[in-house]
Amino acid sequence: MTQAVSLEYVLIVAAALFCIGLFGALARRNLISMLMGIELMLNAVNINLVAFWRYLEPSYVTGQVFVLFIIAVAAAEAAVGLAMVIAVYRSRTTLQADEVDSLKG
């Protein structure tokens, strides 16, 4: 089986995407951007899993099934996360993480 691109390149793309997501989750101060960063991290993992499945074990569907699980969980997390963003915005009219700071010590 010949491959157009080798596994390493796909993994590098996934790792880069994961790092972009990581940067977004850590460095952005807007709550929605932080959630988007986390979604990017999860999607990078999906690329990883599909790549491993395609290049290493195409006869088993394991890798693909994992991706379905992760998509479902990411959706559930996004639903709860966005609901909370709305609640935060209603009570403080801001989405800047720095201004959500009543707990300290």
Partner 1 sequence: MIQPPQIDFSVIGALTVLCVWGIALLLIDAFFIAEGQKRVTGYLALAGLAVAALVGLPSWGQSSNTFSGMVQLDGFSQTLIWIFLLAAAITIVISLDYLPRHDIEKGEYYPLVLFATAGMVLLAQSTNLIVMFLAIELVSIPLYILAGFAYPRVTSEEAAMKYLLLGAFASGFFVYGLALIYGQTGTVQLFSVDGSDSIASYLDRATLVAENNVFLFAGSALILVTLGFKVALVPFHNWTPDVYEGSPTPIAAFMSVGTKGAAFAALLRFLVQALPNLQAIWMPILAILAALTMIVGNIGALKQLNVKRMLAYSSVGHAGYITLAVITGTTLGTNAFLFYILAYTLTNLGAFAVLIALEKQGESAWSLEDLSGLWQRQPLLAVAMAIFMLSLAGVPPTMGFVGKFYIFSAAWEGGLVWLAAIGVITSAISAFFYLRIIARMFMYEPTRAEEASLSRALKVGLAVAAVAVLLLGLIPTPIIELVNNSLLVAAR
Residues contributing to the site for partner 1 (CB under 8 A): 11, 18, 21-22, 25, 31, 34-35, 38, 41-42, 44-45, 48-49, 52, 56-57, 61-63, 66, 69-70, 73, 76-77, 80-81, 84-85, 87-88, 91-92, 100-105
| Closest to 9 in 3D by CA, of 41, 40, 48, 63 | 48
C-beta closer to partner 1: residue 2 or 101 = 101
Distance of CA 85 to the CA centre of its chain: 17
CA Rg value for the chain: 18
C-beta closer to partner 1: residue 4 or 88 = 88
| Tokens standing for residue 13 | 């793309």
